[in-house]
């Protein structure tokens, strides 16, 4: 993971029955928070959890793509539900909020805009990952899949401003959800730039083939829709329902995030409808261009038919043909052919066929 330090293992986890040692590459952050302030613990996640319980605070353990064995050990330590643990290991989950006794499990899909010099029919525009959040009365466990949306900077910002941390684990859940949704907004704004470029290309005076690019952007936009649309229900649950782990004071925060999700969802719907209109316009323009090509070909065929017809008639080698032995017959035929072709050309030009 870029931008987040790896924490080395210290000590042993034997003090916690069923716990196992986490690989140092899986752990990206361990912190103990009491009254909104981070306190030193000088140990591994087991020692941090024990200290958090003693001091009446909570521990925030951040993991990056842990194995099933590692999360299985944490399940016994923190009391994580096995179904939620299975979802966190295998990833590729739909955004959701699950309630298990004294634990909440939330799945958030993260999105990142993939920079590209030019949108093509094979360009990757949106990359997705996942963040799973387990929260209990005295712990927050975050499991991240994918290379983007690191939480290290968020942890540092929350430590500097302890307002959200004082609300307990639900404050951390809100901060993560807010970060993820803010990234949705950024991705939507950058997709809009690609959309404007496509629209300009389709309606430009030069002939372009944008159908493949339009389809690719619609397909990539679907990835963003899959991340944003299902998140509305979990956020509404956090904002409106009474949940043991979510204080009433936190509901307005989740309500604000839900509002942002609604706006992004509306943006995506508008983008999709606009892309459909652009696609139809592009297909209509292709059909119009083909019609213009057919008209031009037909016009030139009609012009070429005049000398072909005259040459065919005079090439039949009959003895008695008009003006066959006249001195000016040949120039006269050429003049007739030229005049007829010029007349047809001017008529086709005037009617827009050429």
Where is mean pLDDT largest: 14-18, 64-68, 257-261? 257-261
253, part of any domain: yes
pLDDT of residue 271: 93
Residue 156 counted as domain residue:
yes
pLDDT for residue 221: 92
Q: Give strand pairing partners of 59.
A: 32, 139
Residue 7 near residue 24 (C-beta atoms within 8 A): yes
Range of the domain at 324: 289-350
Whether residue 18 lies inside any domain: the answer is no
In this prediction, residue 5 carries a pLDDT of 33
Domain assignment of residue 14, yes or no: no
Highest mean pLDDT among 38-42, 196-200, 306-310: 196-200
Are 94 and 138 contained in the same domain?
yes
Residue 18 has pLDDT above 50, yes or no: no
95 and 46, same structural domain?
yes
Task: Output b/e per residue, 140-169; b: 16+ Cβ within 10 A.
Answer: bbbbbbbebbbbeebbeebeeeeebbebbb
Position 19 pLDDT exceeds 50: no
Q: Are residues 332 and 204 in the same domain?
A: no
Both 299 and 247 in one domain: the answer is: no
In a domain, 12, yes or no: no
Q: CA neighbours within 13 Å on the CB side: how many for 155?
A: 21
Gap between the Cα atoms of 46 and 18, Å rounded? 11
- Each as own residue / partner, the long-range contacts of residues 247-255 (CB below 8 Å, 24 or more positions apart, any chain) are 247/167, 247/168, 247/170, 249/167, 250/167, 250/170, 250/171, 250/174, 253/164, 253/171, 253/174, 253/178, 254/174, 254/177
Q: What global pTM score does this model have?
A: 0.77
Quick check: 254 and 178 in contact, CB under 8 A?
no
Total domains present in the chain: 2
Domain-terminating residue out of 230, 254, 285: 285
Give the least confident one: 178-182, 190-194, 287-291, 343-347. Answer: 287-291
Answer yes or no: are the C-beta atoms of 155 and 162 closer than 8 Å: no
- 69: domain CATH number? 3.30.460.20
Q: Which of 262, 285, 308 is the last residue of a domain?
A: 285
The least confident of 1-5, 79-83, 304-308 is 1-5
Q: What's the CATH number where 339 sits?
A: 1.20.58.340
The pLDDT of residue 11 is above 60:
no
Same domain, 281 and 303: no
**Sequential DSSP letters for 194-212:** HHHHHHHHHTSSS----HH
Residues 300 and 269 in one domain: no
Whole-number Å distance between alpha carbons of 321 and 333? 13
Summarize pLDDT for 128-152 with one digit per residue, the tens: 999 999 999 999 999 999 877 788 8
Is 19 among the domain residues? no
Together in a domain, 58 and 196: yes
**b/e per residue, 25-54, with b = 16+ CB within 10 A?**
ebbbbbbbbbebebeebebbbbbbbbbbee
Measured between alpha carbons, how far is 4 from 6 in angstroms, rounded to an integer? 7
Residue 335 lies in a domain: yes
24 — pLDDT class (breaks 50, 70, 90):
low
Q: Is the pLDDT of residue 22 over 70?
A: no
Average confidence (pLDDT) over 87-92: 86
Q: Looking at the domain assignment, is residue 216 inside a domain? A: yes
How much of the chain, in percent, has pLDDT values that exceed 90?
42
Residues 145 and 171 in one domain: yes
CA distances from 212 to 83, 125, 268 (A): 41, 14, 20
Strands 139-145, 58-64: pairing is parallel
- 308/346 same-domain check: yes
Q: Do 300 and 266 share a domain, yes or no? A: no
Q: 43 and 142, same structural domain?
A: yes
pLDDT tens-place string over residues 333-344: 788 888 888 888
| Dist. CA 352–CA 295, nearest whole Å | 9
Q: Are 293 and 279 within one domain?
A: no
Residue that finishes a domain, picked among 255, 285, 315: 285
- Tell me the average pLDDT of the chain: 84
């Amino acid at each position: 993971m870029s931008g987040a330090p790896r924490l080395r293992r210290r000590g042993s986890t034997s003090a916690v029955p069923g716990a196992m040692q986490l690989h140092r590459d899986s752990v990206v952050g361990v912190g103990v928070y009491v009254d909104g302030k981070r306190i030193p613990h000088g140990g591994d996640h087991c020692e941090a959890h024990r200290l958090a319980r003693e001091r009446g605070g909570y521990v925030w353990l951040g993991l990056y793509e842990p194995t099933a064995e590692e999360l299985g050990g944490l399940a016994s330590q923190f009391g994580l539900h096995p179904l939620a643990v299975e979802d966190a290991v295998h990833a590729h989950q739909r955004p959701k909020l699950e309630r298990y006794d004294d634990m909440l499990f939330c799945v958030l899909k993260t999105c990142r805009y993939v920079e590209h010099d030019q949108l093509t029919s094979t360009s990757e525009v949106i990359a997705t990952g996942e963040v799973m959040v387990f929260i209990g009365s005295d712990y927050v466990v975050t499991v991240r899949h994918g290379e983007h949306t690191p939480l290290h900077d968020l942890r540092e910002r929350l430590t500097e401003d302890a307002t959200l941390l004082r609300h307990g684990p639900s404050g951390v859940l809100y901060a993560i959800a807010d970060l993820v949704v803010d990234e949705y907004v950024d991705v939507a704004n950058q997709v809009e730039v690609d959309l404007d470029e496509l629209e300009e290309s389709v309606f430009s005076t030069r002939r372009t083939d944008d159908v493949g690019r339009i389809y690719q952007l619609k397909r990539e936009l679907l990835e963003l829709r899959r991340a944003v649309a299902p998140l509305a229900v979990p956020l509404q649950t956090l904002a409106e329902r009474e949940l043991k782990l979510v204080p009433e004071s936190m509901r307005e925060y989740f309500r604000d995030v839900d509002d942002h999700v609604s706006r992004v969802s509306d943006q995506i719907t508008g983008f999709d409808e606009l892309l459909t209109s652009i696609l139809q316009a592009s297909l209509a323009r292709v059909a119009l261009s083909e019609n213009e090509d057919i008209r031009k070909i037909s016009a030139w065929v009609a012009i070429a038919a005049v000398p072909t017809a005259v040459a065919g008639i005079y090439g039949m080698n009959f003895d008695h043909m008009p003006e066959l032995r006249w001195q000016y017959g040949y120039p006269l035929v050429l003049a007739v052919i030229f005049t007829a072709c010029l007349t047809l050309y001017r008529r086709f030009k005037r009617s827009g066929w050429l």
